[in-house]
Chains A and B, each alone.
Chain A
Amino acid sequence: MAKRKVAALEKVDADHAALQYKLKRDPQSYRDDFINQYNQYETLRELFLQNPSSADSGLIALKSLIEFISHVADRYPDLTSDFPNQLAELLLQHHEVLEYELRDKIVGSIVLLRNKDVIDSTVLLNTLFPILVSTPSKSLRQLLFTKILSDLRSSNVKTTNHKLNRTIQTVLYNLLESDKQSPKGLWAVKITRELWKRQIWTDARAVEVMRLAALSDNEKVITGGVRFFLGGDKEREEAADDTDDDEDVDIARLRHQVGINKKSKKNQRDLRKATVTVKKKEKKKNAPHPLNFSALHLLHDPQGFAETLFSKHVQNSKAKLQLESKLLVLQLVSRLVGLHKLTVLSLYSYFLKHLTPRQASVTSYLACLAQATHQYVPPDALEPLVQKIANGFVSEASASEVAAAGLNAIREICARQPLAMTDTLLQDLVQYRKSKDKGTMMAAKGLLSLYREVGADLLHKRDRGKDAAMGIRAGTIKERRYGEQAVGEIEGIELLEKWKEEERRKKREAAGLDPDVDDGEEMDEGEDWKNWDVESDADSDDSGGWINVESDGEDIQISDSEDEKDKSKSKSKEPPAKKRKLGSTTPAPTDATDEKENSKSIEPEIKSISKLLTTTILTPADLKQLRALQEASSISSALPSHKRAQLLAQRHADEAITAETIEAAASLGKKNTKEEKIAMAKGDRETNHQSTTAKRKEKKVAEGKSTTNKEKARKKNFMMTLGKAKSKNKRSLTQVKRTLAGHIDRSKRGGKRGNKGN
């Protein structure tokens, strides 16, 4: 009896696996055995329930039975109808005392049952979620969190499961609302943030959950919610980029390998999988970009949110938040104020108290202040702030970094609300452009150039610069009043108009007509519509078919009141022609209405531009042309300051300002250390040099491609070549002769294979 004795328990385990396999193939025949096992499970469960915290040998059996039954439960739905409930109950009531392996097994089994569609997601999540928020065990929390997330993801894969999402969002909302003090709400924050990042939840309800989190009483929950608003969207974009990049499969290569290597099912499967991913990627590439709103835009009532956030967490002296979290909240408030152009007046008086150079992380405060400024903030509220910054930060006595930061902050504020500045203060500040420190100097220059654009009359005459001085003299530059809106326009529309006019003239000249008379306008119009999506080239062939519908072009036009007046005077088909004549190149027109227009053409150009927009619909071809014209003009016109201002304005519109923006100016004058200089000089150049051939060869090896015979011969171990070299010397004369003859023959033929066959 040398045979090793197998212990009963070991045998049992083996048997469960085997039985499971057989059950799955033929559930009906093994029904009796399943019933036996199920009875066994029930007995063990009863025993276990009498002492759930015990850790004796019965547990192992119970664990393997639970696994076994959950694997085959879908085959016997009539027998196992209350099995999921029993597991859930076991977990819910005893999760604190359960032995950890059994606990994890039960969690896994419930998830398995969900994957086999024995229970639905709602039941699963309703079981797991209460445990997630109440269990003291870290590993269990981790497990549950991943399970919950993966289930939510998998149930949203094909289509968005609105019902489930709504239930879970309600659960999370209720969790946050029921107990504002407890840190349990952090789980709501974590789940929502993760799902937001993966673009599974993109609606206002998720944002509402986070809004509640930001307004709770627990510091961790607050910062979680606030951080979501400040960084959630960026995280989402990054995650989307990541998923695009990874899994670069080379399908051609895989196909090639399958042809060559030994055929196995795994290889085939891999190939199929790769094909599917590639197809999916293609589809994704062609799919329209998902329209995802930022969380800040999905907020209901941003004004109320900003006010409560500010009064509850920042202004309230009883709120015991750390400085860091407080700054985060302040950032969110100011971001909301800047983005939605809200009015929270108490915010500015709060800043007044904190803007001293000694305040910790004052640059963040400065950045927040700049962020909270927009054109509807009353200048009276901002003036003392600007004054205070100027007094506190910008002086000869203060350190150069402080002065630079102060000037930079003032510029950021004034870029948003130019009216916050008084002329005496501005003239004082501008003097700092003579400063010896580079950072201060640059910051002051920035302020100067800003005011040349937005409020040149506040500057001394000699500081105004050429453009501004000329503009003021001509009266084209006017100070914008408080609350005044810029007239909306499309950049470069006048260029497009000019171009269209020229095209028309060219065509008329080609047709032998007087370019200045406008008879064939309607045809022009028709062709515009025809060239809807094509590169609009002038020499398109004559219109035919149903595409050239002239009256349509007129029906769509949007009419001004002024336009209506003109229409009543002229013939019905005239108005689209008129706007063309308003362009600068239009010479004397012929009929009466046109003369009237001509008298009007002295008026500023803006009006005419608005007319082009109001009378026609720009086709995609037009827009393309417009873009091309814009680019051309931007290259040709060298207006650096102007352009810079525009860029600046663009940036201000939707992005956050951070402390780094404020500190940037100060770092300008800073001297680098030697190490930094060396690192900068080295840049991202590679350190070890390699020839191109070597690189190519390395790449080839890395890809696993074959080598030439020559290369193989060269690489051959020296010892192995010795024998052949030795025998070469011992050849007989006939052998040598044959070799030589062969050599000559080969060289004549052009190599071993020869070159005549092909």
Chain B
Amino acid sequence: MTSSSRKKKDKKKDFQKPKLKVGKTRPKAANSTNTSFKAKSIALKQQSLSTVAPTLEAQCAHHLGLLNHKSDAQRRESLAYLTTAMMNNPPMAALPQPPSVIIPTAQRLILDGSNNVRQQLLKLLQSLPQPDIASHADQLLLHARAAMTHLANEIKVFGLDVLEWLLGVAGDEVVSCAGGWVKMLKCFLNLLGWQSEATSKWSAPKSYGKADSKIQSRQITVLTAFLRAGLFHAQAVTSIVPNGNNFPLWQTEHHVVSDRSNAFANLNLFGATRDEEAEMYEDREDRQRVFHDRAEAAVATGLEQATKGGGELGRAAAQLRKVIKEGMADFYREEITVS
């Protein structure tokens, strides 16, 4: 635009390429910053001078710490490491880290946002020795419940997976822990939309983010497993000790201190007072009664509709109906005899 030659020259100068010559140092850019500094001494904060590799225990502890890492890839890696460590452990040797350390740190990943992390977590949980799970059942159950009521469908489904696994491993603990029975029933009824307090006979509007039939059938299946655990007799009855062995003592097993952790949890000596929902229902009869009082009618109406739907949903519903029928069979008989 301008006619002045000086300005034109100036403009040209801006875009000139610097000439590079072989054997000479490269000219510095105009905006380069000198980052070198001088110091009298440099202190290293920590320094590892050991020549041996860290032990398996230490590495496991390190990876446990990494479970909080912000990158989900890292979390998954750490879980994978822990899983392989558990798997490769020789059968009779002690685990590199006890489950009482692993479970509390790992369990909150049940609510993790990334699917891969969650799947890996389930693998880790499955690799843990089964008897140790039982004492952490209530914690895991809480997390599973949180996952089941989550807004995201993926997490909902994963919550069901965890619950199913948990029922398989420690079904009795799950149904008898504090709040484990009533709250779970309520939660299921909510999820399936089978509230007993549903007032109107009109079909309910399709609610926000409601599960499709696939999720629903899955929910019914897990509910079936849950009810089976709660309403049926515990399979593993206390080991039958031959009476002749300790002759003068009868029924020793009832007098020794229980080998379960927190054996007197039902007394609730130190916790806050519980209401009906948070109460522990350790007896099968109790659970039957509560189920009858709170949920049976709602489940029945819900089942009716689900069965009509047919398909996968209908099959799951039929299973559930069967379980309820079997589980509640002796309850009715009792009631009849009483009245």
Contacts and interface: CB of A to CB of B under 8 A. Distances in A.
Interface in B171-217: 179, 186-187, 190-191, 193, 195, 204-205, 207-209
Contact of B149 (A29, A43, A46, A47): A43
A606 interface: no
Contacts of B152: 8, 11-12, 15
Interface stretch (A31-39, A144-152, A312-320, A635-643): A31-39
Interface in A351-400: none
Contact of B190 (A11, A30, A35, A61): A35
B142 interface: yes
Nearest to A64: B151
A8 B155 contact: yes
Interface in A1-49: 7-12, 15-16, 19, 22, 29-30, 32-33, 35-37, 39-40, 43-44, 46-47
Given A8-B114, A12-B150, A46 B204 contact: no
A7 B114 contact: yes
Given A33-B209, A56-B108, A39 B187 contact: yes
A620 interface: no
Nearest to B146: A43
Given A15-B151, A56-B68, A32 B204 contact: yes
Nearest to A58: B108
B166 interface: no
B125 to A, nearest CB: 17
A57 B186 contact: no
Interface string B139-152: 10011011001111
Which residue, of A30, A36, A39, A57, has the highest number of chain B Cβ atoms within 10 A? A36
Interface residues of B, number: 31
User: By CB atoms of chain A within 10 A, which of B146, B195, B205 has the most?
Assistant: B146
Contacts of A33: 207-209
Contact of A7 (B108, B113, B204, B205): B113
Nearest to B107: A47
Nearest to A10: B113
Contact of A32 (B113, B139, B151, B207): B207
Contacts of A40: 146, 149-151
Interface string B99-131: 000000000100111110000000000000000
A742 B179 CA distance: 98
B108 A57 contact: yes
Contacts of A43: 142, 145-146, 149
B52 to A, nearest CB: 33
Contact of B209 (A15, A50, A58): A15
Nearest to B204: A32
Nearest to B205: A29
B282 interface: no
B296 interface: no
Nearest to A14: B151
A61 B111 contact: yes
A35 B198 CA distance: 13
A180 to B, nearest CB: 36
Contacts of A7: 72, 113-114
B68 A36 contact: no
Contacts of A56: 68, 108
B154 interface: yes
Interface string A222-252: 0000000000000000000000000000000
B138 to A, nearest CB: 10
A61 B191 CA distance: 19
Contacts of B205: 29
A34 to B, nearest CB: 10
Contacts of B146: 40, 43-44, 47
Nearest to A16: B151
A41 to B, nearest CB: 9
Nearest to B67: A56
A596 to B, nearest CB: 96
A40 B156 CA distance: 11
Contacts of B115: 8
A36 B108 CA distance: 19
Contacts of A35: 190, 195
A8 B113 contact: yes
A61 B112 CA distance: 11
Nearest to A28: B205
A328 B105 CA distance: 59
B188 to A, nearest CB: 11
B100 to A, nearest CB: 15
Nearest to A9: B113
Nearest to B72: A7
A37 B108 contact: no
A57 to B, nearest CB: 7
A19 B151 CA distance: 10
Nearest to B208: A33
A12 B191 CA distance: 17
Chain A CB within 10 Å — which of B72, B139, B190, B193 has the most? B190
Contacts of A9: 113
Given A39-B186, A40-B150, A56-B68, A32 B193 contact: yes
Contacts of A12: 150-152
A58 B195 CA distance: 28
A56 B105 CA distance: 10
A75 to B, nearest CB: 14
Nearest to B143: A47
Contacts of B113: 7-10
Contacts of B112: 8, 57
A35 B179 CA distance: 17
A7 B115 CA distance: 9
A8 B152 CA distance: 7
Nearest to A56: B108
B111 A58 contact: yes
Contacts of A61: 111
B142 A46 contact: yes
A136 B173 CA distance: 42
Given A8-B113, A8-B154, A43-B149, A36 B190 contact: yes
Interface in A439-457: none
A469 B152 CA distance: 102
A58 B108 CA distance: 7
Nearest to A33: B208
B108 A32 contact: no
Contacts of A44: 146
A16 B208 CA distance: 11
A56 B207 CA distance: 31
A29 B209 CA distance: 13
A39 B149 contact: yes
B195 A57 contact: no
Contacts of A39: 145, 149, 186-187, 190
Contacts of A16: 151
Contact of A30 (B139, B154, B193, B207): B207
Contacts of A19: 151, 208-209
Contacts of A8: 112-115, 152, 154-155
Most buried by B among A8, A30, A46, A50: A8
A10 B68 CA distance: 18
A36 B142 contact: no
Interface of A: 7-12, 15-16, 19, 22, 29-30, 32-33, 35-37, 39-40, 43-44, 46-47, 50, 56-58, 61
Given A12-B151, A37-B151, 7 more contacts: A8-B154, A22-B208, A30-B207, A32-B204, A33-B208, A33-B209, A35-B195
18 contacts: A8-B112, A8-B115, A8-B154, A11-B151, A11-B152, A12-B152, A15-B209, A30-B207, A30-B208, A32-B193, A32-B195, A37-B151, A39-B145, A40-B151, A44-B146, A46-B179, A50-B139, A58-B108
Interface of B: 68, 72, 108, 111-115, 139, 142-143, 145-146, 149-152, 154-155, 179, 186-187, 190-191, 193, 195, 204-205, 207-209
| Closest CB pairs A-B (n = 6) | A8-B113, A40-B149, A9-B113, A43-B146, A7-B113, A8-B152
